[in-house]
Amino acid sequence: MELLKAGRNAEARAIVDPIVAKRPRDPAAVRAKGLVEMRSGRYAEAERWLLKSAKLDPRNPLTMLDQASLHKFHGRFPEMIAACREALKRSPGHVGAEAMLARAMESSGDLDGAFEFIRSVGARRSLDPDTGECLITVLDLLGRHDEALDAAEGFLKAGSIPPVLRRRVFLRRGRILEKRGELDAALASFEEGQAQVRTVFDPDAYDRRMEQVAADLPTFEPADPEDDGPRSSRLPVFIAGLPRSGTSLVERILGAHPAVATIGESGVLQDVIRDRRDDVGEDHALGPLRVSGDIADAMRRQALDRLVELGGPAERIVSKHLQNWAYLGTIGFWFPNAAIIRLVRDPAANAISILGQDLPPDRMAWATRLDWIGRLMRAERRFVDAVRERLPNPWLDLTYEDLVADPAIWIPRIIEATGLPWNQACLEPHRAESADGGGRAARFQPTLSLHQVRQPISGDAARRAEAWGDRLDAFRRAFDGGG
């Protein structure tokens, strides 16, 4: 558990997997396996293991917290709150349950309630690091920036704070300083936050790998729309873009449509490929394209089944997994009729937004340095440009800046790209979670843009890079190919 708290997921997996193999009915080991999968972004696997743990040890109050985590994954915040309260009934004063309840209230949008609850906890004990970090988040979201900065300074001076939490607070502190126009201090806070974790990224090796994949991808054949086989399915819709490029906004726009379900950043394609590693081999980018027709159809069906399992019955199910762009070859091969929405943002604005966010360093080491971000973004754009013409899929090119500047023009084009009829609710994606006005309430996996996408569409973030000037030169050199 300490390794997980420190963000060292690979090391935790190396310990847990052999224990679970030897003791498959040990509830503690099974639960640890579920938590490892959750921290690794394999939410479907996490849910399976955590539900098994709950059946093996139903009286353990921690199982209710696991249920709360699963509710959060599905965007079920009222249920998450209820599970946390049940955990506190079973174990009054449980520190982990109190911290998760505070986070659940914050995630649900009840910021005043979250603040009052944290204050009540602080009145009877010192705040633990998780609850203290949540307090800083709540104060920031409430616009109480001076108090948030004071709380952050006190937090960062305390001893024994896990690096994962120190990183989050440094990054939150940087974003608050940016709002105040203190950009030098903000950049220093971003960089100090990212330095809290150990990361390794070889941009030259990454370039070579993506160039090899692009060179080896064939041109894919279209599928007969009248065929009822899995290859002809139009069920999936893939948003292909980098983190912080507007993927959550596009997901909300689509999710506001009554015929659409969303699965957030769940790695359905990646999970199916991992499950079929004996057939695919070690090359997850090209291996799926080399299997026999029967195995390819079986993998397609498995992916479609998993989409429905996560999203429920719908005419379209949207994936915004942040590696969709790297799996365009698999998408074109498995589902050539599936719509792809290609999303980009102003490079410099995208870069500073990435640097200032708590992206998983074990899976996105490149996101911890401006020069690495520049190299990754350059490789991503070159790769997509190289493979675009080989895909038969319905395709929409979209820039974040155009979308927020003229949503009345671009939102209908997004819906049209999916082949669905127009629905007026899509013009108000910030209301998609609400049933007010007679519409259905959609559920979304929480992302780093959770609170932002609950607000009406605004172009403020589109101008973010203008103020940063030469502070982003390390990114620009790398992105332009000069460093």
CATH number at 49 reads: 1.25.40.10
Long-range contacts of 33-36 (CB under 8 A, 24+ apart): 34/66, 35/1, 35/4, 35/66, 36/4, 36/9, 36/12
- For residue 305, give its domain range: 203-480
Are 178 and 98 within one domain?
yes
Are 186 and 208 within one domain?
no
Q: Is 464 helix (H, G, I), strand (E, B) or coil?
A: helix
Are 188 and 267 within one domain?
no
Are 140 and 246 within one domain?
no
Structure tokens at 431: 């209301």
pLDDT score at 228: 83
Boundary residue ending a domain (176, 194, 212): 194
Are 264 and 282 within one domain?
yes
Boundary residue ending a domain (129, 163, 194): 194
pLDDT score at 196: 95
- Are residues 450 and 107 in contact, defined by beta-carbon separation less than 8 angstroms? yes
pLDDT score at 356: 97
Beta bridge partners of 344: 399
Of 133, 187, 186, which Cα lies nearest the Cα of 155?
133
Mean pLDDT by 10 residues, the chain (483 residues): 65 89 92 83 78 86 84 88 92 94 95 97 95 97 97 92 94 97 97 95 96 95 88 96 96 96 91 90 93 95 92 94 96 97 96 96 95 98 96 97 96 98 95 61 78 83 84 96 68
pLDDT score at 266: 87
Are 72 and 138 within one domain?
yes
CA distance linking residue 243 with residue 171, whole number of Å: 16
CATH number at residue 432: 3.40.50.300
Are 365 and 428 within one domain?
yes
Are 87 and 150 within one domain?
yes
pLDDT score at 273: 93
| Tally of structural domains, the chain | 2
Beta bridge partners of 260: 316
Are 283 and 403 within one domain?
yes
Are 284 and 382 within one domain?
yes
CA distance linking residue 240 with residue 384, whole number of Å: 9
Boundary residue ending a domain (194, 215, 247): 194
pLDDT score at 349: 95
Are 189 and 278 within one domain?
no
